[in-house]
Structure 1
Amino acid sequence: MMASSAAEFIILNPLLIPGFLFTLYFISNATYQLFFSPIRGIPGPWYAAISDLWLITETMRFRSCKSVHWLFEAYGPIVRVGPNSVVFHDYKTAKDVYKFDKGEKYKALRMIVGGKEHDHAMTTLGRAEHAVKRKAFAPHYTAANLVLFQPEFHQCILELTSILRNIEARVSVDCLDLFHQLLYDITSRMSFNTPSTALAAWSRAFHDQTSAKDPVSEAVGHFPKFALLRGNTPRWVWNILRQYPNQRWRQFCDCSRIMEIVVNEEISATRSATATKFQSDSTRDELNDSYEVVQEKIPLLERLLRSDVLSDSDVTAEMTSHLIAALDTSATMLSFLCWELSRRPDVVQNLRAELANVASDAGTIPPISELNKLPYLNAFVREGLRIYGAGPGTLERVVPASSTPFDILGHVLPPGTIVATQAWTSHRDPSIFPASYAFEPGRWLDGDIAAMTAQMMPFGLGTRICGGMHLAQMTLRMVIVEIVRNFEVSAAPETTEASMEICHSFVRAFFCCWLRG
């Protein structure tokens, strides 16, 4: 009788039907996920098992890495974080997992080309398709090729030094913003062979006390946050939100289009300047299976245009994605390293003592071949990558269909399961890194180097490891050396432990770092 009355009440009140159907679906889905799902036996919070809402919420609050880390501490080395998502902490297992194809999460990082979303190497999910794109740009990022661009590095970094010397020490500098300009200038020279003036524009704006910034550099800085919002918001909601009539908001939403315009202009200019070079195969580099042997010094854009496998849209998407990857991650790393320099006089003293023998001329920067031989500098950079690596979040892969069940830490995962680990947890394993939250470069001089190295994944793992890792390490060493030997770095009053608390999504975002030279 009561069931019949309830049914009649719902029929007589049609507005309740959607709510009834949603409740029925929710209960049915929760029952399945908790009691019948193939991965029901994997530990984890019940609310994460029945919906992706928890993980999306933590991501949007820029604390997903910490939240996942807390789950590892509560539940052990394997945790269910979604209806079809599992995270794990085990470096031996990672070797197998990171042979798999990527997950859909990476699609949020697609570029906008010609008004449509377009894949680049990072967002290409399949390994075979990715290998084709990687082969086109990989020679540019080998250590041997990057050495050819040292003059461009030195010119930009020395310009940075000159700008900082002309700023009074009592005036604080937003170093994250400043490093964005530096890296944009370096990347422009390496990628387009274009003498960008982002540093000069920043200097003029700083002295004139205006807010004028290089629009492309600003667009690059916006993109990670733009991708996060776009990727975690339902498409129909995002299409409404992006129409909000606010100039700053519209500029934020147009960040990919702004970069596309600039890249397309560079493509046209490069084609005009190098048309005759494309007619001869004799200028092409030879390439072995390890992406080595690069002797001819050519910018990245020209290299991609020589490729027979990339369309114009592919080239635009690749160039734009490389701009973002080069700027945002390295600028963030440099800012955190300066933060450590401002509060660790012992570290500064050790660096200066080591540099005294190789960096005596204030007007020149030692070659990277010399800097790579400095033990304490190397330890400083490695510890920075451990604590402040710019990609600390989960790197999703998809379990493939196979005749052999995939077992991970005693649990069989069905094909299609999203599985991931994260650098944040791997780099803070107390059994490998004593006092794991402390910034201690010395651990890389007298610790268990092999065990620590095995845990490190600041640039990812497997065949999809970051193609620009040599560029990042070269940049970090050169910039830090120039800062340490020329300036006393101190934090401005507004730079505190709270302002420097690490907030993150896929890459780091939203922190304040104002320093004084």
Structure 2
Amino acid sequence: MLSLTTTLLSLSLLYLVYTLYTYLTSPLRQIPGPFLASLTNYWRFLSVLQGKHHEVQRTLHDTYGPAVRLGPNCITVTDPSLIKVLYPLQKPRFIKSDYYKTSDFRHGKRILHSSVSYRDEEAHTKMVRPAARFYTTTGVLRYEDRLNDVVKLFLQQLETRFVRPGGREVVCPIDDWLHFCAWDLIAAITFSKDFGFLRRGEDVRGLIGQSCKSLDYMASVGQIPWLDDWVGKNYYIKFPVGTMIEGVKFAAEQLASRMRGEDKHDKETEPDLLDDFLALREEDPEITDDRLVQYAFRNVAAGSDTTATSLRAVVYYLCRYPETQKRLHEELEEVGVADAVRSGDALRYAELYKLPYLTAVIQEGFRIHPSVALSLERVVPDTGYVLPDGRYLPPGTIVGINPAVINRHKGVFGEDSDDFRPERWLKNDHESEDEYKARLGKMKDTDMTFGHGKRICAGRHVAVVEIYKVIASLFSAFDVRLVDPDKEWKTKNSFFNRQWDMDVYLTKRVS
């Protein structure tokens, strides 16, 4: 009878032989990259676990070129021409990889999909299409007054807590407060109530912390998706992994309360997205309670952390570049936005989006620090695919583009693409109108902040409206400067590239 040691050695040798055989015979040998990455997905797992994988990818592309191997069956590309191939507007040939299934939820013996985890395109369309009209800019602006109320509360809390008479400076952890604001904004238009983050100045129910832990889990384990079956989705053993169960519970509680008429909400005078979702079921009886919870939870999970990440990026870089902040102040003063904010008047998005420098600042914040900073993985179809340079990708190969890499493509955004420079989005003195439109169109087509194509972020219009309002209001009300201008923020890339350690001083602006 074989001893345990002999058995383990035999299995190890068998695994080694299999790994080497796979490496030597793989059609992806022609794609360069780290040697260990070509042997095992654990290289990618460990890289993502460290929270700087987007920086690793940038370095790899600088070293190896537009196609880099990240795993035995996984590559990343940076050719802008591939954006519309991998992420088309019509029914895609390249479906999502198993990475996304880590965002599914186990409910008893059932597995419930999140909005991003559907890999079956028909099922995804059936899920999102009924509610799509609520997420257009017009749909979002139905709730503009409610957004304005939250932004007003945000400014009031900042002034009350961090601005003192006589010029005494109080440190404001603006990263936390932008996060609180983002969560309360999405709650206001979804449930007609806020979470209480701004009023209490804390992480209510631990929702933010839980969201961060769940993202940490999904980002790393998603590199080896079968692990999730044994860990995150194990029915018999509950491992202590990050989940968003409190967020799901909150969404379900609000839905149940509304359906029972317990929240004293008047849908005739103050409709919200939850009313919209419930109305869908009257139109289509096939829409289940689970689907309604999916809709509500999608807002909570995807509509808060991403917006917070973008808000922090814009604020941080405006503080790092004081001359840019000064120019924004000047525009807001010149058009009367600053006076309106200081007078307590509501800002209208229809006026804000027309401001060229504010728009350039926000677009540049999106570009230089997109919320999503891991590859948006897709699977090569049965036909295989030939890259523009002639290299062949066999069926089943995982291929993706990382927004945090493509958004700094020097051929599109310029040799200074690593710098925060809003002026790149404006017409310069040396180009014609046609040249500017062509350059601007190329940048917009390449910018993957919200993804691209049929699976583009459904809530992008919500985020854009919120961000315009918060940035215009914040920099109308205050001068914002870093406590330590030489100190860089801290970041961790867990699919969403979150940031912290952004202490600032706020000085109230006067007319």
TM over 0.5: yes
The question of 1:471 aligning with 2:462 is answered yes
The equivalences for 1:121-200 within 5 A come to 121-169=115-163, 170-200=169-199
- C-alpha RMSD of matched pairs (Å): 2.8
The equivalences for 1:252-263 within 5 A come to 253=242, 255-263=243-251
The equivalences for 1:276-291 within 5 A come to none
**CA distance 1:120–1:310, change in 2 (3 Å):** farther
Shift, 1:232, TM fit: 5.7
1:328 alignment partner in structure 2? 305
1:443 alignment partner in structure 2? 424
The residue matched to 1:337 in structure 2 has which SS?
A: helix
CA contact (8 A) 2:376 2:401 kept: yes
The residue matched to 1:228 in structure 2 has which SS?
A: helix
Shift, 1:132, TM fit: 1.1
Q: Amino acid of the residue matched to residue 477 of structure 2?
A: N
2:26 alignment partner in structure 1? 37
Task: Work out the CA distance in 1 between the residues paired with 2:101 and 2:499.
Answer: 22
1:289 alignment partner in structure 2? none
2:276 alignment partner in structure 1? 303
2:432 alignment partner in structure 1? none
Which of residues 394, 418, 441 is equivalent to 1:414?
Answer: 394
The residue matched to 1:508 in structure 2 has which SS?
A: strand
Task: Work out the CA distance in 2 between the residues paired with 1:237 and 1:401.
Answer: 30
Shift, 1:510, TM fit: 5.4
For structure 1, which segment, 364-373 or 423-432, has the greater mean C-alpha deviation from structure 2 after superposition? 423-432
Q: Which 5+ residue runs of structure 2 have no aligned equivalent? A: 164-168, 429-438, 507-511
Task: Work out the CA distance in 2 between the residues paired with 1:91 and 1:501.
Answer: 29
Shift, 1:14, TM fit: 4.1
CA contact (8 A) 2:151 2:470 kept: yes
2:256 alignment partner in structure 1? 268
Which of residues 500, 505, 508 is equivalent to 2:494?
Answer: 505
The residue matched to 1:488 in structure 2 has which SS?
A: strand
Task: Work out the CA distance in 2 between the residues paired with 1:449 and 1:510.
Answer: 28
1:20 alignment partner in structure 2? 10
Which of residues 208, 219, 222 is equivalent to 2:210?
Answer: 219
1:319 alignment partner in structure 2? 296
Q: Amino acid of the residue matched to residue 79 of structure 1?
A: V
Q: Give a deviation string over 1:61-89, Cα, whole Å, max 9, x none.
A: 11111112212111111122111112111
CA contact (8 A) 2:98 2:222 kept: no
1:287 alignment partner in structure 2? none
Shift, 1:164, TM fit: 0.9
TM, length-normalised to structure 2: 0.85
TM, length-normalised to structure 1: 0.84
Task: Work out the CA distance in 1 between the residues paired with 2:301 and 2:495.
Answer: 13
**CA distance 1:24–1:226, change in 2 (3 Å):** closer
1:358 alignment partner in structure 2? 336
2:433 alignment partner in structure 1? none
Which of residues 432, 438, 443 is equivalent to 1:452?
Answer: 443
Shift, 1:511, TM fit: 3.4
Count residues in correspondence. 469
Shift, 1:148, TM fit: 1.2
Shift, 1:412, TM fit: 2.0
CA contact (8 A) 1:152 1:189 kept: yes
Task: Work out the CA distance in 2 between the residues paired with 1:256 and 1:420.
Answer: 26
Shift, 1:490, TM fit: 1.6
**CA distance 1:214–1:177, change in 2 (3 Å):** farther
The residue matched to 2:358 in structure 1 has which SS?
A: helix
Shift, 1:116, TM fit: 5.0
The question of 1:111 aligning with 2:105 is answered yes
Q: Amino acid of the residue matched to residue 369 of structure 1?
A: A
Q: Amino acid of the residue matched to residue 358 of structure 1?
A: G
Task: Work out the CA distance in 2 between the residues paired with 1:47 and 1:230.
Answer: 18
Shift, 1:451, TM fit: 2.4
The residue matched to 2:316 in structure 1 has which SS?
A: helix
The residue matched to 1:123 in structure 2 has which SS?
A: coil
Q: Amino acid of the residue matched to residue 117 of structure 2?
A: T
CA contact (8 A) 2:183 2:305 kept: no
Task: Work out the CA distance in 2 between the residues paired with 1:386 and 1:325.
Answer: 19
For structure 1, which segment, 126-135 or 150-159, has the greater mean C-alpha deviation from structure 2 after superposition? 126-135
1:7 alignment partner in structure 2? none
Task: Work out the CA distance in 2 between the residues paired with 1:230 and 1:298.
Answer: 39
Task: Work out the CA distance in 1 between the residues paired with 2:111 and 2:221.
Answer: 12
Task: Work out the CA distance in 2 between the residues paired with 1:296 and 1:106.
Answer: 39
Task: Work out the CA distance in 1 between the residues paired with 2:154 and 2:41.
Answer: 44
1:485 alignment partner in structure 2? 476
